Structure formats: C-alpha cells, structure tokens
Amino acid sequence: MRRFLLSIVFAFAVIALLSSCETVGYYGQAAQGQISLLLERRQIDRLLAQEDLDVNTRRKLELILNARRFAEDTLLLPAGNSYLSYVELQRPFVIWNVFAATEFSTTPVSWCYPIAGCVSYRGFFSEARAQRFAMDLQSDGLEVYSGGVDAYSTLGWFADPVTSSVLRRADHRLVALLFHELSHSLIYLPGDTTFNESFATFVEQEGLRRWLQEFPQDGIAAQILAEESMQKQFVALVSGYRDRFAELYASGMAEDLMRHQKEFLRQSLRDDYASLRGVWNYTGYDRWFEGPLNNAQLSTVASYNDLVPGFAALLEEAGGDLALFYARVRELTSLPKTERDALLATDAGTNALQSGFQES
C-alpha cells in the first residue's frame, strides 16, 4: 500500500513541476490514466483461484507468470512487481500515440518528458483526446498519424499490470512482448530511441530463442522465421521509400511540383506493397497501408532494428553470458552517441541469431 501511495504522489508531483496549461493538461491525463490502471488492477494469483475464470484468460495469465519467472531466472531481467496483476480494459488499446511531421520533412516532431527523455510521439489514454490533439496539430499545418498501442513500460517506476489488450496476441508474441518491456526496465538511455528499441528487440529475440529451447513447440520456429522475414521486408520497403521522400524534399523543387511527386511516391509505395503482399499471402500489414502514408506515419517505422546485429555480436563476444552482455551494454550508455552507434554498427552476429531459430 505504501508503494502504491508513493506512486500516486509521484505522478501528481510530475504535474506540479510543470508550468504551461497545455503541458499540465497533457500530464494530467497521463497521471489519471496511470492511476486508473493502478486502481483497477487485480492480482493474477487471486484471479487464477476463481473457478469461473475464462479458460483462455486463465491459460494466458498462467503463461505470463511462467514467462515472468523465466525472464527473472534465465534472462536476468528485473521483473519487480510488474505483471503480477491484471486489468480488464473497456477499450481495445491501453494508449494511443500521436506522431507528427512537417509537410516536407521525414524527421518527426519530438516531445521531451521527465525520465524518458525526448521521443517522437505523444501518448494518450483516451482515443478521443488523441484525436483532438491530432486535429490541433493538423490546424498548425503538420501531418499527423495516430495508432493504438496494446502495452507500454513505465521503466520500473510503477508495477506494470498485464492488460486485456495484450491477451489477443499469439503465445510466442505475448512472451516476446513481456521480455521486450522488461528489458526497458533493465537498461534505458533517455533520448536514444534507436538504441533502446534495438536493445529491447534483441533481448526479445534472444529471450524467445532461449524460451523455445526450454519449452519447445512444434512448427513454431518456422513460423517465427517467416514472421521476421516479412517484418524485415516491410521495414526495408518503408525505409527505402522514406529515403526517397527525403531526397525529394532536399531537391529544391518547387512546392507544387514537390506535392505532385510526393503523391506519386505514395501510390508507388502502395503498389509495391501490393506486389509484396501477393508473394507473402499475408494481410497483416493491410491496415497500416490504409493510412495516409504521410511523413508522420512513415516516421513510425523508424530504424528500431538497426543496432540489433551489433547487440547480437556483443552477446557472441560475451560467450552467451547475459550478465556480461548487460554489463557491456551499460558501458556503451556512457559513450557519446556517435561512438556508441559506431561500435554497434556491424552485421556480425546476424547469422548466429537467425540460426538459433532453425528447427533441428
């Protein structure tokens, strides 16, 4: 109870430190949303003791507790009191993120926060609030994009609950999500999204590989390889077009002509995706491509995986020892960004990571 009260005091203290009405309003909804989760959570062990608990919910919650123990004991991730409670949401997502960019730039607008540093989105616990904020940005001449998120990490400041929004994930993706979010509580570098997300993505992948060694599932390795292959092709497609947009904006072309070329590139991107989709026979990215494909949306497919091979090489150098690997990652956080990125900018270790998912 004492920890819970301190969490509430901390949330309101953040608001008190801020000055502008807009900022206070934003952090007010954030604190209210976080406090709501804390108030509505129910302990998972008590839920599992109920005989009338939905069968699928029971299985998912048991899976989460097993993955949580594995994260602590095998992956050496600090779970703390997170993911021991559950919140049944009355909405499809826990938060909605709003992204923004100017008309002729692929660089997203950034907002800075206490603890987390500067990131390229604003998060809202209400879809209506997110839409209102997006409309305000549009009225200022910005391109905007908003999307729902089914989970997030408070970096260990709160005991994060499991929310109903994540239970629809496939089992291996649910386990991977838990590893990903807990890794943020272990190492997080404010203001460096690529470093943070690449590290979390690698820990997620390596953690899932070790999980499947401990708890093998027939056919799942081939499925994971197929999913990751499609994701890499998706990221490569969008990133390639983002570079083409950036070249267009830097061309010095007249704005009217630039707008015409911009629309041509958007349609080309949709056409190339349609071709790729036909090869995949997979529709999972259709909804994303139904969006405006503006600069704000393109910014959501940032290079969050760019440094993953570098982290893979770092673990290989550590002989697979996670404790040593984490220590070396912490050493990197003390370096200037350019030096840190240069040390991680390697494709070594990619084959080792991929081969770990090959079925015997």
Please state the pTM of the whole predicted model.
Answer: 0.82
254: DSSP letter: -
How distant, in Å, are the alpha carbons of 108, 131, 145, 173, 244 from that of 124? Answer: 18, 9, 13, 24, 31
Beta bridge partners of 31: none
The distance from CA 173 to its chain's CA centroid, rounded to whole angstroms, is 13
pLDDT in tens, 152-202: 888 877 889 999 999 999 999 999 999 999 999 999 998 888 899 899 999
Q: Give me 313's structure tokens.
A: 């090489």
- For residue 42, the model assigns a pLDDT of 94
> CA–CA separation, 146 vs 71, rounded Å?
31
Q: Quote the CA–CA distance of 316 and 209 in Å, as a whole number.
A: 14
Ramachandran quadrant class, 191 (left: phi over 0; alpha: psi -120 to 50; beta: rest): left
Element holding 158 (H helix, E strand): none
Per-residue pLDDT at 348: 41
- Residue 54 identity (one-letter amino acid): D
Residue 8 has what pLDDT? 46
Decide: residue 69, CB within 10 A, 0-12 exposed, 13-18 middle, 19+ buried.
exposed
The pair phi, psi for residue 271, each rounded to 5°, is -65, -45
Residue environment code for 300-312, b if the CB has 16+ CB neighbours within 10 A, otherwise e: bbbebbbbbbbbb
Nearest to 237 by CA among 266, 194, 260: 266
Angstrom distance (rounded) from CA 109 to CA 118: 10
CB atoms within 10 A of CB 104: 18
Distance set, CA 146 to CA 28, 128, 273 (Å): 20, 11, 21
Token reading at 126: 């209400």
Q: Give the pLDDT score at 19.
A: 39
Helical ranges in 127-192 per DSSP H: 127-139, 171-186
Written as six digits, the tokens of 307 are 């440094």
353, with CB counted inside 10 A (0-12, 13-18, 19+), is buried
Model confidence pLDDT, tens digit, residues 89-131: 989 999 999 999 999 999 999 888 776 788 888 999 999 999 9
CA Rg value for the chain: 21
Cα atoms in the Cβ-side hemisphere of radius 13 Å centred on 237:
21
Report the alpha-carbon distance of residue 63 to residue 70 in Å, rounded: 10
- Are 120 and 108 contacting, i.e. CB atoms less than 8 angstroms apart? yes
* Separation between Cα atoms, residue 327 and residue 35, nearest integer Å: 34
pLDDT average per 10 residues of sequence, the chain (360 residues): 46 42 67 82 95 95 97 96 93 93 94 80 91 96 94 82 93 96 94 90 95 90 89 92 96 96 97 95 93 94 80 96 97 94 67 37
Question: Which of 22, 27, 67 lies closest to 44, judged by CA?
Answer: 67
Token digits of residue 195: 């470093």
**Helix and strand numbers, DSSP H then E, in the chain:** 15, 8
